[in-house]
A and B are shown apart, each in its own frame.
Chain A
Amino acid sequence: MRTLTKLTWVEIKLFIREPMVVVFTLALPIIFLFVMGGVFGNTPNPEVYRGVGAMNYYMPSYYGLVMMAIGTVALPLHLAGYRERGILRRLRASSFSIWTVLGSQLLVSAIIAILGSLLVTVLGLATYSPDLPENIPQLIGAFFLGVACFTSFGFFLGAVLPSTRAAQGIGLILFFVMMILGGAGPPPEVMSNVMGFIGDITPLRYVILTLQNAWLPGPDFDWYTSASLVTAGITVVSALLAARFFRWE
């Protein structure tokens, strides 16, 4: 337990010291918040954004964006780099278990996701006056489900991607595809069928739908059971694959 606490604290400091992951997880969502908020404001249009104001749509989406950046950029890069450079080997030789190593990453992911989402919340509320989330307990549930999903997804990528270079390349492609097509970019309603299809097969779509339904008011936005089940499914499958393919060296 003491080892887990120490490692988690060190890993948080290392996360903050790594400019690339800070840009992707903390800075990019805020940049998008200001660009999209500045362009679309928060006036509802029945044609797009599930019929709600753009900012009401995007606030929970950007929570998802923070989580997704952790799962596609931060974790794969971190784990593949640790393995490639022999850091995992060093940790293992000193009796750090797989549970301590991955557990600390899960905790760091949750803490960074909370931090990033709080930033989005404070800055969003201060500038474009979106509605407050309707169902806080549901939002918290959806939030941690999303964190679990993308942490697990990141473990999977970190386990199968053989090198830092591969993690960087594949991670960034996944990041941009998911961001643009998975629900944090243009409204899904304006996309072509192919784009919509690709968006539908990204984990981000379901994480965002679950978050949005917890946030948005009204009978149209109850807890999104099917989306949350898909999210949970991705979490479990990713975790199993990560456990299957994890290598110390």
Chain B
Amino acid sequence: MTSIISVQNLRKTYGKIIAVADISFEVAQGEIFGFLGPNGAGKTTTVECLQALRDPDSGKISVIGLDPLRQAQELRRRIGSQLQESALPDRIKVWEALDLFASVTDKISDWHPLLEQWGLAEKRKSSFAALSGGQKQRLFIALSLVNNPEVVFLDEMTTGLDPAARRVAWDLIRAVRDRGTTVVLVTHFMDEAENLCDRVAIVDKGKIVASDSPQGLIASYATGVRVLFSTDKPDLAFLEKVSGVKNVTRRGDRVEVEGSGPLLALVAAALVEHDIVPPDLRVEQPSLEDVFLKVTGRAVVD
């Protein structure tokens, strides 16, 4: 694996507040790397240091072979940035913004396809202030790609997008990755990290607490499977003897069976054997959310 980003022992404090305690990681060329964590975990500070927008207190950073402290301008020219907090002049038109931001690169850059891809073609002559929140957000993503960057940093890129637009955005970002651009994504959405990222680093309190592919994280941290169903039969003690079952909990008619292995099939067979045929029998596979709960000890709160 060729690293396009390499960070060692990054630390950044604001006065007494430790935003980033000690973070080290590598990002491979051509992958989608995600930072997942609650607000205030240090994700944004970390990627801002990588984009030469903040100076770290200590640590070594290399992005596309450049040092953000000493080669900031060249770095900013060759990467793309979608920032969490930024704006454009109210009266700039969509096409003017794209045309302007395309001019920073010497590479041939045609911004017209971005208008189509990000659903802005009809709004090309609208002023920034007249755009909806989602349209502004899509314009900022388009601007981050307009200079054909080698690495693009997307900080909470789907905030403000409706569910359909989020799916489209994910597909477009995958296409960007497939064309060879490395993507660094900051998100607090579990589904986004799980669906989109090749690798995820879970950040909490300024540190990376776990890092792997979403499937890898789930495999190592959340082995349990849950089978859920409803029944009014009182005696379910037989379930505890089914192979793989670790725990059976019951709230009224709702039953939750925790365990591992091929739990659904075995539990189903045991239920049928005891003449219980619940219509709502289903299995819940562990998700990144379970991993997150396990490694941080709490749920992400918006």
Using a CB–CB distance below 8 Å, which chain A residues touch chain B?
2-3, 6-7, 10, 13-14, 17-18, 82, 85-87, 89-90, 92-97
Minimal Cβ-Cβ distance residue in A for B146: A94
Identify B101's interface contact among A86, A87, A94, CB under 8 A. Answer: A94
Interface of B is mostly: loop
Q: Say if the beta carbon of B288 comes within 8 Å of chain A.
A: no
Q: Tell whether, in the assembled complex, residue A87 and residue B100 are in contact, meaning their CB atoms are under 8 Å apart.
A: no
Q: Say if the beta carbon of B88 comes within 8 Å of chain A.
A: yes
Known: A13-B96, A87-B87. A92 touches B53 (CB 8 A): yes
Using a CB–CB distance below 8 Å, which chain B residues touch chain A?
51, 53, 73, 76-77, 81, 83, 85-89, 91-92, 96, 99-101, 103-104, 143, 147
CB contacts (< 8 Å) of A14 on chain B: these are: 89, 91-92
Identify B104's interface contact among A10, A86, A89, A96, CB under 8 A. Answer: A96
Q: Tell whether, in the assembled complex, residue B89 and residue A87 are in contact, meaning their CB atoms are under 8 Å apart.
A: yes
Q: Tell whether, in the assembled complex, residue A93 and residue B83 are in contact, meaning their CB atoms are under 8 Å apart.
A: yes
With most chain A CB atoms within 10 A of its CB, the pick from B53, B73, B81, B87 is B87
Interface of A is mostly: helix
CB contacts (< 8 Å) of A89 on chain B: these are: 53, 83, 85-86
In angstroms, how far is the closest chain A Cβ from the Cβ of B170?
23
Q: Tell whether, in the assembled complex, residue B92 and residue A10 are in contact, meaning their CB atoms are under 8 Å apart.
A: yes
Q: Tell whether, in the assembled complex, residue B76 and residue A92 are in contact, meaning their CB atoms are under 8 Å apart.
A: yes
Identify A87's interface contact among B73, B86, B96, CB under 8 A. Answer: B86
With most chain B CB atoms within 10 A of its CB, the pick from A17, A92, A95 is A95
CB contacts (< 8 Å) of A10 on chain B: these are: 92, 96, 100
Q: Tell whether, in the assembled complex, residue B99 and residue A6 are in contact, meaning their CB atoms are under 8 Å apart.
A: yes
CB contacts (< 8 Å) of A97 on chain B: these are: 73
Identify B76's interface contact among A2, A18, A94, CB under 8 A. Answer: A94
Q: Tell whether, in the assembled complex, residue B53 and residue A94 are in contact, meaning their CB atoms are under 8 Å apart.
A: no
In angstroms, how far is the closest chain B Cβ from the Cβ of A77?
12
Known: A6-B100, A94-B147. A86 touches B76 (CB 8 A): no
Identify A6's interface contact among B85, B86, B103, B147, CB under 8 A. Answer: B103
In angstroms, how far is the closest chain B Cβ from the Cβ of A152?
22
Q: Tell whether, in the assembled complex, residue B76 and residue A95 are in contact, meaning their CB atoms are under 8 Å apart.
A: yes
Beyond A90-B83, A93-B83, 14 additional pairs, beta carbon < 8 A: A6-B100, A7-B103, A14-B89, A17-B91, A87-B86, A87-B89, A89-B53, A89-B85, A89-B86, A90-B86, A93-B81, A94-B81, A94-B147, A95-B104
In angstroms, how far is the closest chain A Cβ from the Cβ of B243?
56
CB contacts (< 8 Å) of B51 on chain A: these are: 93
With most chain A CB atoms within 10 A of its CB, the pick from B51, B89, B92 is B89
Q: Tell whether, in the assembled complex, residue B83 and residue A86 are in contact, meaning their CB atoms are under 8 Å apart.
A: yes
Q: Tell whether, in the assembled complex, residue B143 and residue A94 are in contact, meaning their CB atoms are under 8 Å apart.
A: yes
A-B contact list, 13 entries, CB within 8 Å: A6-B103, A14-B91, A86-B87, A87-B88, A89-B85, A90-B83, A90-B88, A93-B51, A93-B83, A93-B86, A94-B101, A94-B104, A94-B147
Q: Tell whether, in the assembled complex, residue A7 and residue B86 are in contact, meaning their CB atoms are under 8 Å apart.
A: no
Minimal Cβ-Cβ distance residue in B for A18: B91
Q: How far does the alpha carbon of A46 sit from the alpha carbon of B287 in the complex, in Å?
A: 90
In angstroms, how far is the closest chain B Cβ from the Cβ of A248?
9
Q: How far does the alpha carbon of A149 sit from the alpha carbon of B51 in the complex, in Å?
A: 35
Q: Tell whether, in the assembled complex, residue A95 and residue B100 are in contact, meaning their CB atoms are under 8 Å apart.
A: no
CB contacts (< 8 Å) of B81 on chain A: these are: 93-94
Q: How far does the alpha carbon of A206 sit from the alpha carbon of B14 in the complex, in Å?
A: 45
Q: Tell whether, in the assembled complex, residue A95 and residue B73 are in contact, meaning their CB atoms are under 8 Å apart.
A: yes
What are the 10 closest A-B residue pairs judged by CB atoms, nearest first?
A: A95-B76, A90-B86, A86-B86, A95-B77, A93-B81, A17-B91, A85-B87, A6-B103, A86-B87, A3-B103
Q: How far does the alpha carbon of A7 sit from the alpha carbon of B76 in the complex, in Å?
A: 17
Q: How far does the alpha carbon of A66 sit from the alpha carbon of B233 in the complex, in Å?
A: 88
CB contacts (< 8 Å) of B100 on chain A: these are: 6-7, 10
Q: Tell whether, in the assembled complex, residue A86 and residue B85 are in contact, meaning their CB atoms are under 8 Å apart.
A: yes
Q: How far does the alpha carbon of A93 sit from the alpha carbon of B85 in the complex, in Å?
A: 12
Q: How far does the alpha carbon of A75 sit from the alpha carbon of B67 in the complex, in Å?
A: 34
In angstroms, how far is the closest chain A Cβ from the Cβ of B96?
6
CB contacts (< 8 Å) of A94 on chain B: these are: 76, 81, 101, 104, 143, 147
Minimal Cβ-Cβ distance residue in B for A93: B81
CB contacts (< 8 Å) of A93 on chain B: these are: 51, 53, 76, 81, 83, 86
